Structure 1
């Protein structure tokens, strides 16, 4: 399978006509001193809009991207050339003629099949001719080449179809049906079985009708011999349907949704109708989860099978945290007792299968299998004839499996076959950092192609499959550079060199790189360069406005903090031009948990970056820490919060506060903290459990009780609340609210479908019952988790600034008060 790595994969269908002058926003007044009102305006109107969604035409002559230099309400599609012709907007007529979604190439990269607007198209890359494969009211998806490229396969209404380019014939390959087969089988209930036998024994006419019904079924089956087998799914649905390379096997994944899963409702109060409208959102952590199994349909034998995993190594192992609870709950048993000699009953964990991934010659296949609790990932070979699986590689983590190129699902996993049809490749955190490996499925020999204390973040094979192209943070955790590597391994050759981050989209002929590049002080712009080490990158866009450029934005220092456990923690430091003895400081806490912000490129928290500049103008020292749990630093940092959110992630901030006092002259009585989402959670934990360190805090869209957050995120870190209740109590701010001393501001959107408004309401009630009066809650009736309206951003950050000015600027001996 060869899937394009970018969203716009465009043939050279149209000439580059009508070149226009590159759009630049009209000049505007200099920004001057920063204010909340200035920096929280609509960024498209005064900062500029960076190019996104970069892609090449199939002939490597054009570069397409989304952009908004005209300050419109949304981005538009633009096109330029590697030579640097001025970008121009693509007309609606042109866009209708272009394939706008990713697709799949055949082995020779001579054809590409793709989906557009629910129909399937086949593009001949030599002639630039496009053929329409389907034109229906139904939506067709998942196009692929089948039978060695002779057919095109796709799915429609939950079934697999193929289309023959030579004859135009369409064949339905599966017949999946919801429910149970009409009149199928005998009753299983004993009472019903008795009644049926009684009816057949007593009445001749009933016996004859039963025999006639069975005869009709046999006749219909004989007449329909060439049709696919009707496979009844019961309450399940089907996905990931694939035809094996030889056409003899159809693989699919069965999905069983949990019954009666209760979904949280978020009411929206400010609506166009004038009535309160309910938004159905999600379940909470620990709710019953979707179950998966892999099915196989043997076409020749007209038989279906379910793949079993009971022999997977470690599938019956109890996670370590569960063993702790068992030890606490059960008294010790004497070693010589009969009970001690009994083998405990095994508990097989649920799994989620992905694949299969077939070799080019169609002779071999492998699956990626993950445990539902994400503590194991197995790679297993699949023998289609025997339906047996064989372990190739197991990655186990008592915390949870993740990391670049590994991910939670098939779309995030980086795996495949090498051209010898004998070795597979994949990424693993086996050494503590995500690196690239190959494994011989015939001998089991595994080889690491990269190694070191850095992460391989993206990987792809060249079209001739002789070279790896890799994005990695090898030079510094806060840089992203592009490399190449021989397919058999060796030295990494660095191609991009500019400090900061280079997001690379390789041209189809692999001679050029379209590079989205930024630094800590300059937003993303589009560049182009030759695919050669040290080649010069040439700019293709200029997106920022004169007003934005008129301000001398501060480049933060990247420092390391030696944490109390000896770990090096990276951080951004902003210092006032004129040092103030015993001055105030603010610590910003990034959100998402597993995210990196102490880096050398333009932050996705650009509003907070500008607000930190404003704080420095006002005399604050600002620290922005990549605390434990952040991405970019390997497994140990990623899992440092396992079963204890508000543990090392919080002490990293306390250690950062100590560094501000010891090294940068900050007053220990004048330190504030703020952040949103996970950053809001840390702020609450800081204000509740470290009240003598943090005098004031602003907690935005905060998780207050992890038992009320979603399953996919929380279960990995804290396990299930009914299995690991101690981890939830240990990690949830609502249990520590009694410790509040300083001034607390909380801000939350009322239609937040991620961290529900209910979270902050529950904490507010807790604070009321604790008779706390040094807190404030600001609500935003039309905002979801990520604020959109400039008015909301402005109101929120004016309140944050007021909080800090009121509580951190007075003399250290002044009492901490409300706002």
Structure 2
């Protein structure tokens, strides 16, 4: 949910005078820390290697603008430059290479470019208003494939001719349509009509014959009917096949609520559609078609042979809900909950936005990744092209829900061995599996593996993992045929990496608590890195920011250790007199904030510094549901959101009382999005535990959130209404007794402002006291304006100063 993009929180102008502290510097104030984040520094973003591997490119946000400039740096010398418009026109994009390494291709400003690596000659392949993407060389290296939306094109390197790989028509074939009764009667009666039809049929047959014999013609269209619409297409590298993902053409997504704009350019109130509520309609089921481009034939691919697809993992919950509906006389609603004979599926959506389909380099194998719409299963299958059927290769089942990350897959260079990530051990690990053999784990342990990159020679996997500690991430590598997992980088706060074209070097983005991602380069085998950028503003880095101390909070509920970041004064006396404290709750639910990297929550981290300056101590916990700790930690909240997490937050409070002299009656809590939800749950499910709470853009009723996130955790509300009831703050409104401040953007199209307004009305009707709401007419879920940030945190600061900081009356 609320993920403050690093790019947006990482800008660097000059530090305002009020923030000049350190030895003799001025104390922090809200005006400074909530100012436009340009004063802090910019994150280095999207690094990639030049085509020849000699330089690196990266993006950097421009001060005072959302424009991102492109830079180029020589990793050998560290010399870099900002590219002006003319230089940018001659720049390159992230490149792909043919197997012989004679040509490279890339996308620049949405167009396709080809480079002859021997001569360095650059050819512009397209110049079109629609952006192209996904360039890839054919298996034989003779052509370049690329796509525009769902349309694939093939550029022949020898002739320079571009042609569509296939023409898809989502209508019925006009020539194949049989005449209805009246039309047949007309043909039977009138000779001229029969002769006209015969002539049309003859011309159509002639065109098909010519097209089949003449490769210089555009391909004949595939007529696929008007009952389906395309979701994605994936062309095989040999150009023989295309896989088409479809969904019903007229799927009803359900009624969309409105977002209302009160402050507008026109001066009139305006509306826009938001996302559909969970349970108003399930996501559209998807189907697979195999198109034989050479024979011009199409085959629907059935999914009913996937193992377990006919099971009902929600059988027990379904039976309970159906029985309750039948007892209440709601027979129609009970019948609507009948389990399908075969569970519908969707394709996994990859980072590129395309479906979970990966072709082997030679085009002779394809891996497809399916998710059940009920979120309980993930399948990986290959295709038997001769029989036009799926061949199941792997099933991952979770009684709660399958993770929305850790689903990467691909092929080894032998074109016959799959690699994939799986949580089957309880943690994301890397596996390989021949299509006709058994799977083998390349990594194992109680740590998470992500972002695997196979070297171009196919010998090594490079990956991101927190093997040394849950909060510490670095690049490791492992041989693709099995062997030791070895550490390559030594940052602890490694964020992203890109392998060089020759496999010898890594471009690495790394960060730390107050340093946004910076670019370095080092040997792919390890060693000392060369730092290439330093984009933080000197005045910001000169401030004596509090280094968050990573601590382990023991769970009193059998969960083991809860990792947390503690902010306290330097040289504090743990046995000092009782003091006030604040617990910050990160958003997203499934997000990891306790790491050695820069935080998503830059504003909040600075606010935590201000709170310490004002006499508080602050704790930020990776409660259950957070990322980085395995699937059991993630799924502990299944059907009970806000319950295990609250146990962890209360354990954090107890730890503060025991170890840092905190007064248990003077602990505040705040957070945004999921953190706002947890703030409300803390005050409403544990009244009296927190002196006050501030909830920013909080979901107060999960039945009004979206399907993609919510149904994973709570199932559909019609099927599992009890899960929604026990997980929604609005159900506990009668318990409010501690001061609660709610802040919400009125044009929030993620967590709608109606959530907070509905909860506010419940408090009004229940005659509650000490609750307030502040609304921001020009803010969405991610606040963008410094004035809004300031106003929001001024109110939070005043709330804590009034209700948390003062010593309680004797």
TM-score for the superposition, normalised by structure 2:
0.89
**Does the 8 Å CA contact 1:24/1:543 hold for their aligned counterparts?**
no
Alignment of 1:66-145 (within 5 A): 66-68=59-61, 74-100=67-93, 102-145=94-137
1:706 and 2:712 matched: no
* Residue in structure 1 matching 2:677, options 676, 681, 685: 681
Alignment of 1:343-422 (within 5 A): 347-353=341-347, 354=355, 356-402=357-403, 404-406=405-407, 414-422=408-416
Q: How many angstroms apart in 2 are the aligned matches of 1:346 and 1:290?
A: 14
Q: How many angstroms apart in 2 are the aligned matches of 1:367 and 1:761?
A: 44
Q: Corresponding residue for 2:203? A: 219
Task: Report deviation, 1:346.
Answer: 5.7
Q: Corresponding residue for 1:185? A: 177
1:669 and 2:665 matched: yes
Q: How many angstroms apart in 2 are the aligned matches of 1:103 and 1:532?
A: 22
TM-score for the superposition, normalised by structure 1:
0.88
* Residue in structure 1 matching 2:476, options 474, 477, 483: 483
Q: How many angstroms apart in 1 are the aligned matches of 2:223 and 2:83?
A: 46
Q: How many angstroms apart in 2 are the aligned matches of 1:263 and 1:813?
A: 50
Q: How many angstroms apart in 1 are the aligned matches of 2:53 and 2:756?
A: 52
Residues 184/72 of structure 1: CA separation in 2 closer, same or farther (3 Å cut): closer
- Per-residue CA deviations over 1:369-428 (Å, capped at 9, x if unaligned) read 22122211111120111102121111111111126531xxxxxxx212222333111110
Q: Corresponding residue for 2:564? A: 571
Alignment of 1:273-672 (within 5 A): 273-288=266-281, 289-320=283-314, 322-327=315-320, 329-330=322-323, 347-353=341-347, 354=355, 356-402=357-403, 404-406=405-407, 414-443=408-437, 445-533=438-526, 535-567=527-559, 568-577=561-570, 578-579=572-573, 580-672=576-668
**Does the 8 Å CA contact 1:176/1:233 hold for their aligned counterparts?**
no
Q: How many angstroms apart in 2 are the aligned matches of 1:210 and 1:633?
A: 73
Q: How many angstroms apart in 1 are the aligned matches of 2:472 and 2:754?
A: 39
3-state SS of 1:806 partner: helix
Q: How many angstroms apart in 2 are the aligned matches of 1:617 and 1:421?
A: 59
Task: Report deviation, 1:783.
Answer: 0.8
3-state SS of 1:385 partner: coil
The unaligned stretches of length 5 or more in structure 2 are 1-11, 212-218, 325-337, 348-354
- Per-residue CA deviations over 1:302-323 (Å, capped at 9, x if unaligned) read 3221110112111111123x42
Residues 456/463 of structure 1: CA separation in 2 closer, same or farther (3 Å cut): same
- Per-residue CA deviations over 1:335-386 (Å, capped at 9, x if unaligned) read xxxxxxxxx9862111124454333343333322221222111111201111
Task: Report deviation, 1:797.
Answer: 0.5
Q: Corresponding residue for 2:785? A: 789
Task: Report deviation, 1:328.
Answer: 6.0
Residues 358/155 of structure 1: CA separation in 2 closer, same or farther (3 Å cut): closer
Q: How many angstroms apart in 1 are the aligned matches of 2:156 and 2:186?
A: 55
Residues 215/375 of structure 1: CA separation in 2 closer, same or farther (3 Å cut): farther
3-state SS of 2:472 partner: coil
Residues 211/703 of structure 1: CA separation in 2 closer, same or farther (3 Å cut): farther
Q: Corresponding residue for 1:34? A: 28
3-state SS of 1:669 partner: strand
- Per-residue CA deviations over 1:162-213 (Å, capped at 9, x if unaligned) read 22111123333322123334476358xxxxx6xx26x745884358636743
Q: How many angstroms apart in 1 are the aligned matches of 2:375 and 2:120?
A: 44
1:234 and 2:230 matched: no
**Does the 8 Å CA contact 1:403/1:434 hold for their aligned counterparts?**
no
Task: Report deviation, 1:775.
Answer: 0.4
Q: How many angstroms apart in 2 are the aligned matches of 1:541 and 1:93?
A: 23
- Per-residue CA deviations over 1:60-119 (Å, capped at 9, x if unaligned) read 22222222586666432222221344432111111112234x453322343233333443
Q: Corresponding residue for 2:738? A: 742
Q: How many angstroms apart in 2 are the aligned matches of 1:504 and 1:117?
A: 23
Q: How many angstroms apart in 2 are the aligned matches of 1:71 and 1:159?
A: 38
**Does the 8 Å CA contact 1:365/1:383 hold for their aligned counterparts?**
no
Residues 418/147 of structure 1: CA separation in 2 closer, same or farther (3 Å cut): closer
Q: How many angstroms apart in 2 are the aligned matches of 1:169 and 1:70?
A: 43
Residues 66/171 of structure 1: CA separation in 2 closer, same or farther (3 Å cut): closer
Q: How many angstroms apart in 1 are the aligned matches of 2:658 and 2:253?
A: 56
Please, what is the CA RMSD of the aligned residues? 2.5
3-state SS of 2:794 partner: helix
Task: Report deviation, 1:326.
Answer: 0.4
Residues 94/212 of structure 1: CA separation in 2 closer, same or farther (3 Å cut): same
Q: How many angstroms apart in 2 are the aligned matches of 1:763 and 1:391?
A: 47
**Does the 8 Å CA contact 1:403/1:429 hold for their aligned counterparts?**
no
Alignment of 1:140-179 (within 5 A): 140-156=132-148, 158-179=150-171
Residues 403/118 of structure 1: CA separation in 2 closer, same or farther (3 Å cut): closer
Alignment of 1:24-63 (within 5 A): 30-31=20-21, 32-44=26-38, 46-63=39-56
- Per-residue CA deviations over 1:93-150 (Å, capped at 9, x if unaligned) read 11112234x4533223432333334432222233322222233445544433235222
Task: Report deviation, 1:287.
Answer: 3.1
Residues 595/214 of structure 1: CA separation in 2 closer, same or farther (3 Å cut): farther
1:762 and 2:746 matched: no
Q: How many angstroms apart in 2 are the aligned matches of 1:427 and 1:285?
A: 28
**Does the 8 Å CA contact 2:419/2:431 hold for their aligned counterparts?**
yes
Q: How many angstroms apart in 2 are the aligned matches of 1:355 and 1:659?
A: 44
The unaligned stretches of length 5 or more in structure 1 are 1-22, 188-192, 332-343, 407-413, 815-819
1:270 and 2:266 matched: no
**Does the 8 Å CA contact 1:24/1:542 hold for their aligned counterparts?**
no
Deviates more, 1:522-531 or 1:735-744: 522-531
Task: Report deviation, 1:484.
Answer: 1.8
3-state SS of 2:467 partner: coil
3-state SS of 2:598 partner: coil
Q: How many angstroms apart in 1 are the aligned matches of 2:149 and 2:341?
A: 36
3-state SS of 2:440 partner: strand
Task: Report deviation, 1:506.
Answer: 2.5
**Does the 8 Å CA contact 2:743/2:792 hold for their aligned counterparts?**
yes
**Does the 8 Å CA contact 1:244/1:362 hold for their aligned counterparts?**
yes
3-state SS of 1:524 partner: strand
Q: How many angstroms apart in 2 are the aligned matches of 1:499 and 1:153?
A: 39
Q: Structure with the greater relative contact order (CA < 8 A, sep ≥ 6): 1 or 2?
A: 2
Q: How many angstroms apart in 1 are the aligned matches of 2:567 and 2:339?
A: 57
